[in-house]
A and B are shown apart, each in its own frame.
Chain A
Amino acid sequence: MTARTGAPLLEVRELVKHFPIRSGILGRRRGHLRAVDGVSFEVRRGESVALVGESGCGKSTTARLILGLLKPTAGRVTFDGQNTDELDRAGLMGFRRRAQIIFQDPYGSLNPRMTVGGMLREALRVHGLARGRGAEQRIGELLEAVGLHSDDAGRYPHEFSGGQRQRIGIARALAVEPEFVVADEPVSALDVSVQAQVLNLLADLRERFRLTYLFITHDLSVVRHIADRVAVMYLGRVVELADCESLFANPLHPYTQALLSAVPAVDARGWPERIALSGELGNPADPPPGCPFHPRCPHPAKDERCRSELPELEGGAACHHGS
């Protein structure tokens, strides 16, 4: 997969989300949890970008801000040239049709009391895309497109396996003919043999429907099979942004290096010696001053500047010592 050129379909600028921390019976504000703290990147039409990081780094919050499921504290999201915060009712409805999400947990995100056909029919009806016989035909096509049978429309979610349920989630996202799909850990809950089936399906669908993807994942090995570009997040910030191939061949940020070296490889030949990190992910309610990664950073040149000055994302990595 190669990056395609073109105008950005999605532009994220200086996105910030702080959640208030309240305590006591009066619910006084005690501080802020800086879930997302100044994130900027863009996704070009037809491109697949992955947001990668460990739990608590703000990747899922970023996805929810982009889709308008959360309101940002500051910054803006531009979709196809329009600021999504300024959309009117009709504009918002259009945006919600064009941008869809696939969730991690296919058990939790499907209504257990609705047949698969019913779920797809509802999506088609809400967006006024198809009714009656047209809708039935469309439902059959969608199920075939994700590798299920058109007869499956009459069945309920519990009758399917985990991988099949994820296929239903994908069919539901595709029902409204979106251009942009956010996939939030779409294969994390699946067994490896099934995970490969779903990753291949997502790659096929991308070609077939010319989709643009934003992948949210903690799993770097998955990223390599699905993304053109990767943004690595740490404590609410993007610390490295690079083409997928160059990120794996030559990671610049010490955090990316450590993260890559920690992926357990079956075949360890040619894999770097593990870089041990001390301590745990910092506290987003009280991020360290300077570079957010400095308390755990193993870089030999770590100095006073790292402890006091926030590095900008320049030349691919947000690090004072580039490497």
Chain B
Amino acid sequence: MSAPVLQVADLRTYFHTADEPLRAVDGVSFSLERGTTLGIVGESGCGKSITCLSILRLIDRPGRVEPESSIKLGDRDLMELSEAQMRAVRGNEISMIFQEPMTSLNPVWTIGDQIAEAVRLHRGVGRAAARQRAAEMLGLVGIPKPEGRLNDYPHEFSGGMRQRAMIAMALACDPDVLLADEPTTALDVTIQAEILDLLASLQDRLGMAIVFVSHDLGVVAQIADRVIVMYAGQIVEQGDTGRVFSQPRHPYTEGLLRSIPRVTGKAARLTAIAGSVPSARRWPRGCRFHPRCPHAWERCREEPPLLLAADATSRCWLEEEPQRRAVREEAGP
């Protein structure tokens, strides 16, 4: 594989409120190769969306991407760019699509103008050329008779078409990286399936790398090459999608996989993870998952486990003391 297009190292995004800083993202590192898809999964409040916004440096005060973080796009560190230089990156080299297309499209501008605006801004082409590019992009994302739809307003599009228009806008400048934050969560399953297919085929044709954030493990299993599982602002497990979902190592990943309702096999009672995601204001001491973990022992309550190597799999003391898992499962229900 070629050199990574995006390398994030020790990303920390803290919100500095009156008392303790709120450590929303707390030391996240990953790299992304051209033409591949990285899935980020986790429950709400674990820091997935803040990770994406941090990469684009779209964090407002009192939030701050801490200076020791490094976000490298090719060989440039985005942390060192000025705001004006960042504006040339956003929507051009890295673009983003969001969950709810209706709130991220401007309702009083036509779809065509919104796509053309990005092209004119970043490519410095004229009005007519930008419009033509907009029509071409709408065609590429599968909107029939694209020239005729340029003058439509967002409300004239259905939910699935709006998400297509968002994708057209995000890809209009041929970005290296597409950050997709829950892009299909608001859509019906049949439409979701179409959008996932569309993203995969566009990736084949255009070669961009995708960071795909979702709480839905089924969706990520379908689209991602590699997966990061986040919990409480940290990566707790990472690896190839097939391995993570078939042989999870971290107890949180195991718990998540067991708690999803299945469409195949026998319909049994679901195994829930006890409790809920803690608040970023006070992450638990030691391993952040220990209050909900069925395997936790003394060490987990005291010492936070680390992901030592960059390619380490699971942030869990069981990696060092695997015999603890066996004991527990024999004794367990």
Contact = CB atoms under 8 A, between A and B. Distances in A.
Bound pair (A, B): yes
Interface in A76-129: none
The CB with the most chain A CB atoms within 10 A, among B259, B263, B269, B270, is that of B263
A199 interface: yes
A224 B263 contact: yes
B190 interface: yes
A192 B263 contact: no
The CB with the most chain A CB atoms within 10 A, among B158, B188, B215, B257, is that of B188
Interface string B207-242: 000000001111101100000000000000000000
A224 B261 contact: yes
Nearest to B241: A266
Contacts of A248: 263
Interface string B251-262: 000011111111
Given A54-B189, A264-B216, A271 B264 contact: yes
Interface string B143-168: 00000000000000011110000000
B17 interface: no
Contacts of A265: 218, 221, 262-264
Interface string B34-73: 0000000001100000000000000000000000000000
A199 B43 contact: no
A308 interface: no
Contacts of A220: 189, 263
Interface stretch (A10-18, A19-27, A43-51, A255-263): A255-263
B249 to A, nearest CB: 16
B271 interface: yes
B189 A218 contact: yes
A200 B269 contact: yes
A161 interface: yes
A193 B272 CA distance: 5
B44 A191 contact: yes
Nearest to B262: A221
A125 B324 CA distance: 53
A205 B38 CA distance: 40
Interface string A262-301: 1111111111001011001100000000000000000000
B263 A161 contact: no
Given A191-B277, A259-B190, A266 B217 contact: yes
Contacts of A245: 267
Contacts of B256: 192-193
B270 A225 contact: yes
A221 B193 CA distance: 15
A200 B270 contact: yes
A230 B219 CA distance: 24
B259 A193 contact: yes
Contacts of B269: 200, 203, 225
A232 B44 CA distance: 30
A65 to B, nearest CB: 22
B215 A199 contact: no
A54 B259 CA distance: 23
Interface string A193-219: 111110110010000000000000011
Contact of A276 (B159, B192, B193, B217): B193
B82 interface: no
B213 to A, nearest CB: 14
Contacts of B221: 264-268
A162 B152 CA distance: 38
Contacts of A162: 44, 276
Interface residues on B, range: 35 or more
B259 A280 contact: no
A264 B193 CA distance: 8
A196 B215 CA distance: 14
B190 A192 contact: no
A152 B221 CA distance: 39
A263 B189 contact: yes
A274 B166 CA distance: 24
Contacts of B259: 192-193, 195-196
A246 interface: no
B204 interface: no
Contacts of A222: 261
A218 B257 CA distance: 20
A251 B148 CA distance: 39
Contact of B193 (A164, A244, A262): A262
Contacts of B218: 221, 263-266
Nearest to A258: B190
A161 B279 CA distance: 10
B20 to A, nearest CB: 20
Nearest to B197: A276
A55 interface: yes
A193 B273 contact: yes
Given A199-B270, A221-B261, A192 B43 contact: yes
Contacts of A260: 263
B222 A264 contact: yes
B264 to A, nearest CB: 5
A161 B159 CA distance: 29
B192 A262 contact: yes
A193 B41 CA distance: 13
Contacts of B159: 55
Interface of A: 54-55, 161-164, 191-197, 199-200, 203, 218-222, 224-225, 244-245, 248, 258-260, 262-271, 274, 276-277, 280-281
Given A55-B159, A280-B160, 12 more contacts: A54-B190, A191-B43, A191-B277, A193-B43, A193-B256, A199-B270, A200-B272, A221-B263, A222-B261, A259-B190, A263-B263, A277-B194
8 contacts: A164-B276, A196-B260, A225-B267, A263-B218, A264-B221, A267-B245, A267-B264, A268-B222
Interface of B: 43-44, 158-161, 188-194, 196-197, 215-219, 221-222, 245-246, 255-264, 267, 269-273, 276-277
